[in-house]
A = this chain, B = another copy of it.
């Protein structure tokens, strides 16, 4: 036997650590790092699971969250859903075992992916109160629900059932209820269960969420739509950003025998043609047997993949919140502050990080009652889940800090850091695999690809903001000039006429000469589901004018009969064009129309475009984007955006590594 060296002493102490034991000691990694946060985390894990299960089963979620105060520091938390239920044999592992789940291997967007959350919650409850959790579930068609009292043997990461029985649950046809005790502190405010549920309801309008707080007060977040979000499709891994080792594992695990078939069948977006191209680029025969793949040939294959252009992944494995919901969501949050402007939200095309598709959405709200002398507020979402904590750790925050907001009208010392101003920035990252910084899923890692996409989306949305602010400033200036001219000239004329004893002349021609502009003004009034729009066109030029005017409305809302002038063209039920009649010099022409069936705040800012006239002569409308008739305006805008992006783009990560800096 060797002598008792330190090495041998150390060897004696070495042992396996169960994953449950690991998280028992490192509960802060799971987000259980303060009494206030812990009960929010507990609710979040259970609600995420409930929403995922309902969506998977195509059920409109009805969720009930109830918090009871047991004593000074202990609460009983119970979450019930109408999901598909959990088969009784699975229940112990689902609730009583960490790293156990159904969604870990799937390439598809979902809230839970790790198989840690709910069992970790139960474990934390058990650590802090010594009490078991109770889970009850009933699957469709079952006569009774199964109910278990469960604790976790952390040394073994195994469930222990203290009780199990079938019990009637007659008022429920299928669903799950989980109740657990937990030490914590119940609070209200910006980081609270109420706030988490509210934000969850905003981005999941197909859900109905009922919350009963410790005092027994009941809050209901009603279902806003009966339409489930489109079910996300499971896809194969995308070849972009694939690692060599992962590729080698895949070649070992595949059922295919030839290289070309493997590429075609085991990857997203690799057609037969693309598969052949990859083989060629890799200088490997299409018939290469996968069993014969060496490190060398795998490297060649990876190299080949990187040389061939492969389509971006389909968007249908992802479930973006969408423009409308982002606006509505923000408006819900902001009922009291009445912001001045909602910048049109930007949704980027899907991109890929390490084989996982993702996309970024950004919305910005500006002005109104938002505080002007504070940092902007940041709303972060990942796969439709609000992120309330760890803002400083999140790539979303880094992307915002890394953007020069001075260009877009916000105050920012030195052009970096969180900007100041009356604004809220909302960012949603949706991915088949959101790379969180920890198991607590509170912040997204600084993956360079993702940061880049967020920055591009922020810039695009920032440009929308800037356009608005510029327009506002321009309008304000013109309006000021108008007011001066319209007030002062008549006064001067009157005075002069009085002195000279002559009648006051018609001044419209004079004002027109001074202004020399076509002035377009618009107003919207709303009453009982009906928006009345009036567009007034003042011809303050010396000549008669004839041109076309165009606008965008929420699809299908136009009441055609209400139009004071028949539209010359309506495209996709949302792009309306009018060829205006001749408007004589100094004449005012009014165009009116009505929109039906919208909420008041779904139509506030009117986007007006003009054509067949020199835009320089017009105030209050923008030139029509080049090919309005062929493609959507949004498309055009994004084309412009892409062009600008290229100009904007700086080399983001140089050899010094300074720019990757997360500080």
Chain A contacts to B: CB under 8 angstroms: 2-3, 5-8, 10-11, 13-19, 21-22, 25-26, 28-29, 33-34, 36-37, 53, 56-58, 84-87, 89-90, 93-94, 97, 99-104, 106, 114-115, 126-131, 139-142, 154, 174, 183, 185, 187-192, 243-249, 295, 298-299, 374, 378, 389-394, 397-398, 414, 433, 435-440, 443, 445-448, 653, 655-658, 660-663
A450 to B394 alpha-carbon distance, docked (Å): 22
Contacts A6-B56, A17-B115, A25-B104 given; indicate if A130 touches B245 (C-beta within 8 A).
yes
A85 partner residues in chain B, CB cutoff 8 A: 5, 7
CB of A13 within 8 A of CB of B84, answer no
CB of B36 within 8 A of CB of A141, answer no
A195 → chain B closest CB, angstroms? 9
Q: List 24 A-B contacts (CB under 8 A).
A: A2-B141, A5-B57, A11-B102, A13-B106, A14-B93, A15-B100, A16-B93, A22-B114, A26-B435, A28-B436, A29-B439, A33-B435, A33-B446, A36-B657, A126-B245, A128-B243, A129-B244, A130-B248, A189-B656, A189-B657, A190-B661, A390-B662, A392-B397, A392-B662
CB of B435 within 8 A of CB of A438, answer no
CB of B7 within 8 A of CB of A140, answer yes
Instruction: Give the number of copies in the complex.
Output: 2
A393 → chain B closest CB, angstroms? 3
Indicate which residue in B13, B33, B114 contacts A102 across the interface (CB closer than 8 Å): B13
Write the chain B residue with the least CB distance to A126.
Answer: B245
Indicate which residue in B86, B183, B448 contacts A244 across the interface (CB closer than 8 Å): B183
Known contacts A7-B140, A36-B660, A192-B657, then 16 further A-B pairs from the complex at CB < 8 Å, ordered by chain A residue: A6-B84, A14-B93, A14-B101, A15-B102, A17-B114, A33-B435, A33-B447, A127-B244, A129-B244, A130-B244, A130-B248, A185-B655, A190-B656, A191-B658, A191-B661, A392-B397
A298 partner residues in chain B, CB cutoff 8 A: 130
CB of B100 within 8 A of CB of A17, answer yes
Most chain B C-beta atoms within 10 Å of own C-beta, residue among A18, A19, A378? A19
A192 to B58 alpha-carbon distance, docked (Å): 49
Query: When A and B form their complex, which 5 residue pairs have the shortest distance between CB atoms, in order from nearest?
Result: A392-B392, A393-B393, A187-B657, A127-B245, A438-B438
CB of B445 within 8 A of CB of A243, answer no
A247 partner residues in chain B, CB cutoff 8 A: 130
A437 to B435 alpha-carbon distance, docked (Å): 15
A245 partner residues in chain B, CB cutoff 8 A: 126-130
A305 → chain B closest CB, angstroms? 14
A233 → chain B closest CB, angstroms? 15
Write the chain B residue with the least CB distance to A151.
Answer: B245
A247 to B126 alpha-carbon distance, docked (Å): 11
A390 partner residues in chain B, CB cutoff 8 A: 393, 437, 662
Write the chain B residue with the least CB distance to A91.
Answer: B11
CB of A10 within 8 A of CB of B102, answer yes
A246 partner residues in chain B, CB cutoff 8 A: 127
CB of A11 within 8 A of CB of B437, answer no
A16 partner residues in chain B, CB cutoff 8 A: 93, 97, 99-100
CB of B18 within 8 A of CB of A447, answer no
A7 to B86 alpha-carbon distance, docked (Å): 5
CB of A141 within 8 A of CB of B3, answer yes
Indicate which residue in B36, B90, B141, B657 contacts A5 across the interface (CB closer than 8 Å): B141
Contacts A15-B100, A17-B100, A26-B435 given; indicate if A57 touches B447 (C-beta within 8 A).
no
A93 partner residues in chain B, CB cutoff 8 A: 14, 16
A128 partner residues in chain B, CB cutoff 8 A: 243-245
A18 partner residues in chain B, CB cutoff 8 A: 99
A249 to B656 alpha-carbon distance, docked (Å): 50
Write the chain B residue with the least CB distance to A247.
Answer: B130
Write the chain B residue with the least CB distance to A378.
Answer: B663
A131 partner residues in chain B, CB cutoff 8 A: 295
Most chain B C-beta atoms within 10 Å of own C-beta, residue among A130, A131, A655? A130
Write the chain B residue with the least CB distance to A661.
Answer: B191
CB of B295 within 8 A of CB of A25, answer no
Indicate which residue in B22, B104, B391 contacts A17 across the interface (CB closer than 8 Å): B104
Write the chain B residue with the least CB distance to A52.
Answer: B10
Most chain B C-beta atoms within 10 Å of own C-beta, residue among A3, A6, A22? A6
A33 partner residues in chain B, CB cutoff 8 A: 435, 445-447
Indicate which residue in B14, B36, B398, B433 contacts A25 across the interface (CB closer than 8 Å): B433
A131 to B245 alpha-carbon distance, docked (Å): 8
A273 to B433 alpha-carbon distance, docked (Å): 55
A446 partner residues in chain B, CB cutoff 8 A: 33-34
A192 to B659 alpha-carbon distance, docked (Å): 12
